[in-house]
Amino acid sequence: MRPRTDTPCWIAVILSRPWLLPISRAALVSAFLLGGIQKLVDFNGAVSEQAHFGLQPAWLWAAAAIVVELGGSVLVIAGRCVWLGAGGLGVLTAVSMLVANNFWAQSGHDRFIATNAFFEHLGLIAGLVLVTIPFSSQAEPGITRRF
C-alpha cells in the first residue's frame, strides 16, 4: 500500500526522474561554485572583499571561503559527505549574512536591500539543510538514532 499524497501523478513522475536530484544539487550550489572560482582566479580581489567587511586576517578568510565554496560544492554535487559540504556552505552563508547584510544597522533603501538579501540567504541555508536530509536518513548499520 502506498501512502496517500496530494501530489498530482504527472508531478510525481517528474520528481522521480533520476537526473533531477543531481541537477538540483548543482543548481543549489552554483553561486558558491562560481564564487569560489572567481575568488581563486582573483585572490587579491577576494582578500580585498574580506577586508572590506572587516574580516581579519583577510587573506585567511579569503582562503577559507575558497576552500569551503569549492570543496562544499563538490561534496554536495557528488552526493558524498553532503552533510559536511552543505554544512560548511551553510556556516559560510550565515557568517556572510551577518557581516554583509546587517539590515538592523542600516536605514532607508539600504536597509530594504540588506533585509531582502538576509532572508534570501536564510532561505539558501534552509535549502542546504533540505538537500542533506535524504542522506542523513540512511543511518549506518548499528547506529541508533535519538531525537
- pLDDT digits over 91-144, tens only? 999 999 999 999 999 999 999 999 999 999 999 999 999 999 876 665 555 444
Interval 22-28 mean pLDDT: 95
Coil vs helix vs strand at 135: helix
Question: Are 91 and 101 within 8 A, CB to CB?
Answer: no
- Predicted local confidence at residue 138, as pLDDT: 57
Confidence of residue 5 (pLDDT cuts 50, 70, 90): confident
Q: Other CB atoms closer than 10 Å to residue 92's CB: what's the count?
A: 20
Specify the pTM: 0.84
Q: How far apart are CA 27 and CA 21, in angstroms?
A: 10
